[in-house]
Structure 1
Amino acid sequence: MSLSRTVVRLRYPAGSFTRPVLRPSTLRRFFRVKRDQRRFLTTKHTSSLSYIPDVGIIVDKIRRCISTQNVGALHQQFYGLFRMLSGEGKDKHTTPPLTEGEIHNVLLSLASSGRHHDLDMVVKILLDLPMLCGAEVGVKEYNVILRGLIKNGNAQTILNWLMDMPQKPKNITPTLVQWHMFFEWCAEAGMAKLLHHSVSKMHRSGRRPTVKTFEILFKAHFDTGAPIKKFYDSLDLMDNNSLTYDENFANFLYDGFVKLGLADRAQEMKNVYWKRFSKKSRATDPEVIERMESIEREAEQNGIVAAVNLCKSLQRDGFTLVPHILTLLIRRTHRLDYLRYAEAELHIKASLIHWAILVSNAVRAGDLTGALSIYEESKSSGITPGAPLIHPIVNALCTTSSSLDDAAIDRALELYKDLAEAAPVPQFKQEQQPQPEHRHSPGPDANLYNILFRAFGVSKNVRKYFPIAHSLLEDMDARKIELSSPMAVASLAIVVMRCASSFDDALKAYKRICKRPNVPPIDAKGYQAILSTLTRLSFGHREKLPSVWHYFEVVKDMRTAGVEITAPVYTILIRHLALLSAELPREERDALAAAVRRAHDHLTLDPSFTPDTVLWNQLMDCYQRVGLFAEAYRVWEMLFITGRFNQASVAIIIDACGFANAWPMAAQVCLKLTKHGFKFNLRAWNTWIECMCRVGKLDDALKVVCLEMGKDQPNIKPDVNTVKVLLSFAARTNQQDEVMDRIKRYLPQLWHTLPTEINGYLIRERTAVVDPK
């Protein structure tokens, strides 16, 4: 039966449950639940009766899953294995059950799938690797995972994995080989834009690009016929990473353009490369460079002791040990004992830069406590606090979440105080010299103030930091430091707005900050933060709802400043009004509904902006949440007539019909959609099921789930969420047993995958582990 025929039938009172291939009397027998069949469903679950297979059985099943690449079954079997090895069977199994090669095959299969829960399982396996196969996590395992991710082909997932590697088991910094595996795949796939973006971000993982990295990038530009601007942008990126002139790369550039038949351009680019990078060329003996590289390679591959021994060996051969050697030895670690060992063995005193490397690596690995400990140890060792030491920690303390606690901000302020006292204002004035590009000032700089102001802006206790913000502004003036970031200006405006006593005061305070001398104009991101703050302001009973007038006064400022008005400008307000609908008492709903209508008026009367489907969907959802079903339906009709609706639009209007108890309207929506050949996705199907349940058609909803849902759509099947919807409404009439019995009869595969407890309902019969075969 098609969806349209189902809708036509369901527009009237529910009748018999029919299907062309089965007689109604037969179906009634199938769906009748006997008393003895309900008993197993309501008996309390006892975990001791569950069947727990032997480790050997689970391992055999894992091996079969590896050969068939059954990722779903791998999850099930590994959870059982973890339970056995760390729980009841922990003392019985001392020998690792799997080989390293088998684990590598498992990691490859999971990474090739690339879904979030598969990658979570990858991390879980890495954490328990010694227990599973007796091996330690190393570069080999991450190479296998990377090959799987590349096989999956989601470039953003690969980039995220490489960037987060320092925070994953063993805190391993991705190697150049691993980065280049990814870059070469990007180049072969023609993703030069993503490749450029990834190269610009890779330093955050603790690994900087090399000339070889840029050879891959420029080759991608050559292969894709990129415009000349892309080549200049990539040269800028080389410059930002402080690379030096390389004759081989110059020839590579020249040859690349010549092969494209652009000889004139080839000479031009070679000359540009020479002019920009020749002055940075290090007049260093190639043999010295080779020895430096060998020391760094030895430290990374074989550890600090082996690298220090190599340094001593080279020193005996006449090689001079310089402080930069310490940098090479600790570049990939945040272990303080490594630095202490290298200092003592090589008789080289660590400088602020070396301590800053350890701090940065600790922060990058997610060890903020360790970073603070290293910082305190540096002060005990006589290191004067400097920006390279303090910046990473302050940034980590102040950007860990959108709502910071006082302890984190207070600790950041203590670090700021250390830095300010190390470079006091009078000294700063006497030594006022221009700082080299891309370098921090000796004391607090604009970036540090920007971070602190942003932290004040999101603090729950903003009034506590309001006077501190003023004192920091005075300190900036004394040090002749100007606010350099539009976001910092916006953050200051947010602080004063949140400390205002009314919407009028908040608007005046925001304008005062914007008029401060020498502040940069607020950008789109800053304005969005200010608008978001404005929606959340509340000043007692009289001014509890967001002020739409004040909101659009800020929008007017945006337009005057030449900032483009985009969808988020309206989304921020509409989404917040929708959220308020669940919090406000019923007597305040009229005022909330009026605010939604006014926002809609601004949206339709704005000649500079054309709303997209996503924004219309949000407005439709907002209308239905505040109880204005008629307005929501009018938005839907506009979307349907113009053909601009999508799956989300359908789910929202069906949901609105259900809450408004407007079954005829829901049926009409579905009939029109089926006439247009529209196919529901899983979310729309589940919303349709919920709508039927909400208007009192539980029996019909259950029949649709068992016999009709996704019938002509191979990739659409009822899932756990579908069952949860049915059970939530069945509980109101004590029909849970009937629902579960029908699911078991008609959807046995789904029934076997359901969790033991759903919405408080216990499933009693399935205790044995299901064989994935």
Structure 2
Amino acid sequence: MSLSRAVARLGYPAYSFARPAYRPPTSRRAAPAFRVKDRRFSTAKHDPSLSYVPDVNVIADKIRQYIPTANVGALHQQFHGLFRMLGEAGTDKPTAPPLKEQEIHGALSVLAMSGRHYDLDMVVKILTDLPMLCGSEVGVTEYNVILRGLITNGNPQTIFNWLISMPQKPRNITPTLIQWHMFFEWCAETGLVKFLHHGVSKMHRSGRRPSLRTFEILFKALFDSGAPIKTFYDALDLMEKTSLTYNENFAKLLYDGFVKLGLVDRAQEMKDVYWKRFSARSRTTDPKMVEWTERIEREAEERGIIPATKLCKSLQRDGFSAGPHTLTLLIRHTHRLDHLRYAEAELDLKATIIQWAILVNNAVRIGDLSGALSIYEESKAAGIVPAAPLTHPLVNVLCTSSSTLDDAAIDRALELYKDLAEAAPISQSSQQAPKPSGSRHSSGPDANLYNILFRAFGASKNVKKYYPIALSLLEDMDARNIELENPMAVSALIIVVMRCSSSFDDALKGYKRICRRPNAPPLDAKGYHAILHTLTQLSFGNHEIPSIWHYFEIVKDMQVGGIEITAPVYTIILRYLAVLAADLPPEECESIAGAVRRVHDHLTLDPSFTPDTMLWNQLMDSYQRVGLFAEAYRVWEMLFITERFNNASVAIIIDACGFARSWPMAAQVCLKLSKIGFKFNQRTWNAWVECMCRVGKLDEALKVVCLEMGKDQPKVAPDVNTVKVLLSFAARTNQQDEVMDRIKRYLPQLWHTLPDELDGYFIRQRVAGVDS
């Protein structure tokens, strides 16, 4: 059923904005969309066959039935039941695993093809409990199944995120080159060349370096897409950051690729550039030595440290000479200290800082921070002098991970900095000239390390504790001839100063003081955005809202510095004002409403900037949140007339109508949209359902959800959030059971995916009510 018919069947006319917001209700109540018995809310929401399971094998049989049908919701339900039964104390455990390996692979494939975050959470849960489920350990085969499913789903960012995070998933498996190449070849086939380049540039974060084959895939995709010459040079720059050496077949690929494009001059030019950059980089030109090193590294990765070390000793009898680089080949893919100790003892070698740094990096990559710190301490005990390759990954994860960043983490990072600084005393480094920008890490502290620490100080909840430390680090930088060469380091330091200010005036003075430091680089757009965001978050205990004047003083500096004014400059302040208004009663929103109007004035008077739809949406949302519905509706009318609106715009104005209790205006908006064939997405449908609930039309909202929402758009079918909206308003009139009965009857697949914790959510809504 179309949206226009859905609105028309509700029988509510659309009024112009000048008319009353709604008609006075009659004493007679409209007949409910569904006639049900008026009884108390029941917590029994599942089919009896799902609520009580006699044994594990019954659940396993159901899983086998649902895999061929790709019923994701049912699979979730059954696996939750299976985990519960296998994990319950006192439950009779099966003598054999309940599922076969191929059946698990089928379930993993179905869930991966769905690709939603909660489906991938279930995938990880299955991998974690794989021995209990089918009696086998997690291996490359399972990850191949998942990867093929994700590729079928077709979201490149989801695939990339999965590969990058594989070392933190069950068994800490580093993605293989074959797996990366499966992804890259799919990117090439589907024309995602920019994403392919991005993936190649970041794949090292997963613990896997690009190979020559990786760049063959990239360059062939560039040739097939007819990319500009600059893109080829960018790819060659990326290739130069690896340890790859000159290869004649790759040189031929470059030459032939440009010839096929009719660019013969470019063909010879690119071949010559490739020769100049890569011909002198090989560690050895001896083909036998190259073969030996490749065999050793492959053996270490595929079979482990002991067989690989035995291979080294065997090859020594044939003339292979082991050295520190041999240790690198052996431990490149491990984070275990005992592996390094074993290889050292067997080959009579002494590890250098390079091998210790590899262990630390690998431990950090799989999320084992405590293990990484332990390896670092062992390296010091072994006589390794702390240097950047050892400390940087540790400081970085301590100071940038949202899960670890607290005062204890920052304090530990400062201890690492102290070790590094003492290993390279100022008396020595101060005699050295500053290193050119872009040079490799120094052995002691460098600009990047200070940048990381300053940003951590600015993010700390206890920023005043670190303010004097930040000033002392600035003195250390001056003594070491290290400049604040990174604009983000400057903005991080400004954020620390601003957060330790006593007023908006003081914050602005601190900002200007840091910007005027000798040799400080000019701020970039990202740094300015961070500073503006910080200004909106400042609070001085007097309920003072962010100063619009101070805010736009910094915006003026952006313009003077040649930084383009873009939508985020206005969005930051508008979004914060909207959030601020949500925490205040309506009678206290007057000053915030005035601030929103002043931002709107700046916006319309700025000749250098044309707002986009996203910014207009934020302005409309801010207006409605401060109680200025008329202004919000005027923004909507402008967007509608100029055809610049999107689904987010529609959701915002429908939400505004709901809060303003203006049902006729909401109906008018929807009727106009239906006449031009506009399709709601899931967020907009949910906003429409909530709007009906807000104006007291729960029965109609329930009917829309059960009979109309998503019927001609399967991808926008009702979801858990839709059910939460209905139940939050049903709690006011004790109609939760009615809602659940209708969902169970008309939307059984959604019913089976509802999480158990929703029971508690329903009860809380009944007790606490919902905001009006």
TM-score, structure 2 as length reference: 0.91
Evaluate the alpha carbon distance shift between residue 443 and residue 144 of structure 1 in structure 2; reply closer, same or farther with a 3 A threshold.
same
**Matched ranges for 1:303-452 at <5 A:** 303-401=304-402, 404-430=405-431, 438-452=439-453
- How far did 1:729 drift? 2.4
Alignment partners' CA distance in 1, 2:723 and 2:405: 39
Evaluate the alpha carbon distance shift between residue 653 and residue 46 of structure 1 in structure 2; reply closer, same or farther with a 3 A threshold.
closer
Evaluate the alpha carbon distance shift between residue 186 and residue 698 of structure 1 in structure 2; reply closer, same or farther with a 3 A threshold.
closer
Greater shift in the superposed pair: 373-382 or 74-83:
74-83
Evaluate the alpha carbon distance shift between residue 686 and residue 212 of structure 1 in structure 2; reply closer, same or farther with a 3 A threshold.
closer
Tell me which amino acid in the other structure corresponds to 1:604: T
Alignment partners' CA distance in 1, 2:451 and 2:701: 55
Aligned to 2:624: 624
- Cα root mean square deviation, aligned: 2.8
- How far did 1:438 drift? 5.0
Alignment partners' CA distance in 1, 2:752 and 2:422: 66
Alignment partners' CA distance in 2, 1:548 and 1:433: 40
Question: Aligned pair 1:588/2:588, yes or no?
Answer: yes
Aligned to 2:636: 636
- How far did 1:502 drift? 1.3
Tell me which amino acid in the other structure corresponds to 1:428: S
Evaluate the alpha carbon distance shift between residue 694 and residue 155 of structure 1 in structure 2; reply closer, same or farther with a 3 A threshold.
closer
Evaluate the alpha carbon distance shift between residue 562 and residue 599 of structure 1 in structure 2; reply closer, same or farther with a 3 A threshold.
same
Tell me which amino acid in the other structure corresponds to 1:183: F
Aligned to 1:286: 287
Aligned to 1:765: none
Alignment partners' CA distance in 1, 2:434 and 2:693: 73
Alignment partners' CA distance in 1, 2:586 and 2:86: 55
Aligned to 2:550: 550
Aligned to 2:568: 568
- How far did 1:725 drift? 2.7
Aligned to 1:464: 465
Alignment partners' CA distance in 2, 1:738 and 1:579: 34
Conservation of the 8 A alpha-carbon contact between 2:41 and 2:736 = no
Conservation of the 8 A alpha-carbon contact between 1:330 and 1:339 = yes
- How far did 1:91 drift? 4.5
Alignment partners' CA distance in 2, 1:261 and 1:699: 67
Evaluate the alpha carbon distance shift between residue 489 and residue 563 of structure 1 in structure 2; reply closer, same or farther with a 3 A threshold.
same
- How far did 1:144 drift? 2.0
Conservation of the 8 A alpha-carbon contact between 2:167 and 2:206 = yes
- How far did 1:657 drift? 1.6
Conservation of the 8 A alpha-carbon contact between 1:403 and 1:459 = no
- How far did 1:710 drift? 5.0
- Secondary structure of residue in 1 paired with 2:373: helix
Aligned to 1:516: 517
Tell me which amino acid in the other structure corresponds to 1:562: G
Conservation of the 8 A alpha-carbon contact between 1:728 and 1:759 = no
Evaluate the alpha carbon distance shift between residue 504 and residue 164 of structure 1 in structure 2; reply closer, same or farther with a 3 A threshold.
same
**Matched ranges for 1:159-170 at <5 A:** 159-170=160-171
Greater shift in the superposed pair: 389-398 or 428-437:
428-437
Aligned to 2:18: none
Alignment partners' CA distance in 2, 1:281 and 1:755: 57
Aligned to 2:770: none
- How far did 1:249 drift? 1.8
Question: Aligned pair 1:33/2:36, yes or no?
Answer: yes
Tell me which amino acid in the other structure corresponds to 2:646: N
CA distances 1:726-762 after superposition (whole Å, capped 9, x unpaired): 3322332333344445555655665565556546548
Question: Aligned pair 1:5/2:8, yes or no?
Answer: yes
Evaluate the alpha carbon distance shift between residue 94 and residue 379 of structure 1 in structure 2; reply closer, same or farther with a 3 A threshold.
farther
Alignment partners' CA distance in 1, 2:684 and 2:635: 18
Alignment partners' CA distance in 2, 1:57 and 1:734: 36
Evaluate the alpha carbon distance shift between residue 293 and residue 658 of structure 1 in structure 2; reply closer, same or farther with a 3 A threshold.
same
- How far did 1:140 drift? 1.8
Conservation of the 8 A alpha-carbon contact between 2:77 and 2:753 = no
- Secondary structure of residue in 2 paired with 1:581: helix
Aligned to 1:478: 479
Alignment partners' CA distance in 2, 1:307 and 1:56: 43
- Paired residues in the alignment total 751
Conservation of the 8 A alpha-carbon contact between 2:437 and 2:485 = no
Alignment partners' CA distance in 1, 2:416 and 2:718: 55
Evaluate the alpha carbon distance shift between residue 755 and residue 86 of structure 1 in structure 2; reply closer, same or farther with a 3 A threshold.
closer
- How far did 1:402 drift? 9.1
Aligned to 1:611: 611
Aligned to 2:690: 690
- How far did 1:306 drift? 0.6
Conservation of the 8 A alpha-carbon contact between 1:7 and 1:667 = no
Alignment partners' CA distance in 1, 2:13 and 2:748: 26
Greater shift in the superposed pair: 298-307 or 212-221:
212-221
- How far did 1:408 drift? 0.8
Alignment partners' CA distance in 2, 1:163 and 1:746: 40
Alignment partners' CA distance in 2, 1:391 and 1:207: 19
Conservation of the 8 A alpha-carbon contact between 2:151 and 2:186 = yes
Conservation of the 8 A alpha-carbon contact between 1:402 and 1:458 = no
Higher relative contact order (CA 8 A, sep 6+): 2
Evaluate the alpha carbon distance shift between residue 476 and residue 328 of structure 1 in structure 2; reply closer, same or farther with a 3 A threshold.
same
Tell me which amino acid in the other structure corresponds to 2:574: I
Conservation of the 8 A alpha-carbon contact between 1:17 and 1:703 = no
- How far did 1:716 drift? 4.7
Alignment partners' CA distance in 1, 2:426 and 2:600: 52
TM-score, structure 1 as length reference: 0.91
Question: Aligned pair 1:650/2:655, yes or no?
Answer: no
Alignment partners' CA distance in 2, 1:208 and 1:32: 64
- Secondary structure of residue in 2 paired with 1:378: helix
Greater shift in the superposed pair: 210-219 or 485-494:
210-219
- How far did 1:506 drift? 0.8
- Secondary structure of residue in 1 paired with 2:540: coil
Alignment partners' CA distance in 1, 2:167 and 2:715: 37
Where do 5+ consecutive residues of structure 2 fail to align?
15-22, 764-772
Aligned to 1:499: 500
Conservation of the 8 A alpha-carbon contact between 1:4 and 1:674 = no
Evaluate the alpha carbon distance shift between residue 431 and residue 673 of structure 1 in structure 2; reply closer, same or farther with a 3 A threshold.
closer
Conservation of the 8 A alpha-carbon contact between 1:403 and 1:458 = no
- How far did 1:127 drift? 0.8
**Matched ranges for 1:664-683 at <5 A:** 664-683=664-683
Alignment partners' CA distance in 2, 1:751 and 1:253: 56
Aligned to 1:69: 70
CA distances 1:143-195 after superposition (whole Å, capped 9, x unpaired): 22222222222222211111111111111111112212222222222322221
Alignment partners' CA distance in 2, 1:448 and 1:238: 26
Aligned to 2:114: 113
- How far did 1:106 drift? 2.3
- How far did 1:399 drift? 0.2
Tell me which amino acid in the other structure corresponds to 1:3: A
Conservation of the 8 A alpha-carbon contact between 1:165 and 1:172 = yes
Greater shift in the superposed pair: 716-725 or 343-352:
716-725
Tell me which amino acid in the other structure corresponds to 1:549: W
- How far did 1:77 drift? 1.9
Greater shift in the superposed pair: 42-51 or 408-417:
42-51
Alignment partners' CA distance in 2, 1:562 and 1:433: 28
- Secondary structure of residue in 1 paired with 2:52: coil
CA distances 1:706-734 after superposition (whole Å, capped 9, x unpaired): 55545655555444433433332233233
Aligned to 1:92: 93
Aligned to 1:768: none
- How far did 1:679 drift? 3.3
Alignment partners' CA distance in 2, 1:67 and 1:703: 32
Evaluate the alpha carbon distance shift between residue 745 and residue 472 of structure 1 in structure 2; reply closer, same or farther with a 3 A threshold.
closer
CA distances 1:175-231 after superposition (whole Å, capped 9, x unpaired): 112212222222222322221111111111111112222111111122222222121
Question: Aligned pair 1:539/2:554, yes or no?
Answer: no
- Secondary structure of residue in 1 paired with 2:589: helix
Conservation of the 8 A alpha-carbon contact between 2:586 and 2:627 = no
Counting aligned pairs with the same residue, the percent is 74
- How far did 1:338 drift? 0.6
Where do 5+ consecutive residues of structure 1 fail to align?
19-26, 763-773
Evaluate the alpha carbon distance shift between residue 708 and residue 223 of structure 1 in structure 2; reply closer, same or farther with a 3 A threshold.
closer
